[in-house]
Amino acid sequence: MLFADSGLSDASISVLLAIWSLTSVVFEVPSGALADRFSRRGCLVASGVLQAFGYAAWVLFPSFWGFAAGFVLWGLGGTLQSGAFEALLYDGLAANGDEDRYGRLNARVDTIELIAQVPVAVIATALFSFGGYELAGWMSVAMCLASSVIASRFPEPERDDEDDDELGYLATLTTGLRASVPIKRAVLAVALVYAIDAFEEYFTLLAQDWSVPTVWVPMATIGVPLMGAAGASLAGRLPNRCWVLFASGALLIVAALLAVPLAIILLGLFYGLYRFVLVHVETELQHRIESDSRATVTSVAAIGAEFVAFAVYALWVLGSAVAIGVMVLVVALVIRRR
């Protein structure tokens, strides 16, 4: 909305989104190696600062180039956070012999992230009502900086390997890439499953296509992330089952075929089951990583997800939600055979 109200065309907005995606693809793995070589906590702090500068660029320079600069900064910040957070969390638990708690803690993080979307949407609406895009933008800057302050307080365990200090950045990157090979099936599972989350961007469009009045779309879809949070929360308590992701794809197909407002309930069930599986595959990957290049390996999975996400975008254009549902079924079969 900000871009459109600033006079940008649909084509220009698409270019901006492409710049954002390209930034993530280019810097995802190198930023993971940066976290492994130097400091995971430092990368998290820098992530919030860069994203804050990105939002500031949008507010101060509301033009194509200002938005482009903001997306580049946001993309860089996102890549610094991706991989570094998981590595810091897992290694922090492992330092105390509590790595078995990672799955449950990761589920809690995922749950909070999804639940937070509800009050944030309400607050954003209120901020826009009082001060428009500018107030909402500066509040976003403040929140990003606050996240950096919080991240700076995270404990970071010392590395056990005495040779870490002797490794240069390129050597760390190479070690991380090599470490991905023995556990390539777990990396592939995360890439395939995580990519499905790109479909979340289309939930509001689905509601409109399913005859929900535009004014009611936010309220109609508010339950979807809450169902996702419920699924993520259960992932920390229940074991994974191979049929769960397949069932989620089947629910999505049925919902798309019905194409009525009540089908949003099935969409929520799809998302809840999907997030349940996502937490499990992410946790399994962390348990399988045995090297000190944890952030780099996690970033390899993330960049794989970025590429697979393009398939989600293409399927939306070609066949809408039914095609994406079929993709979920295929992914379920692939990870079942790994």
- 138 in Cβ contact with 39 (< 8 Å): no
Average of per-residue pLDDT across 95-115: 90
> In sequence order, which residues have a C-beta less than 8 Å from that of residue 267 and are 6 or more positions away?
203, 206, 224, 251, 252, 255
Average of per-residue pLDDT across 103-115: 90
Tens of pLDDT along 205-247? 888 889 988 768 777 888 999 999 999 999 988 887 879 999 9
pLDDT at 10: 67
Burial of 11: CB neighbours in 10 Å, binned 0-12, 13-18, 19+: exposed
Burial per residue of 146-159, b for 16 or more beta-carbon CB atoms within 10 angstroms, e otherwise:
ebbeebeeeeeeee
- 23 in Cβ contact with 76 (< 8 Å): yes
Domains and CATH numbers, the chain: 2-337 (1.20.1250.20)
Higher pLDDT, 4 or 30: 30
- Is the predicted pLDDT of residue 129 greater than 90, yes or no? no
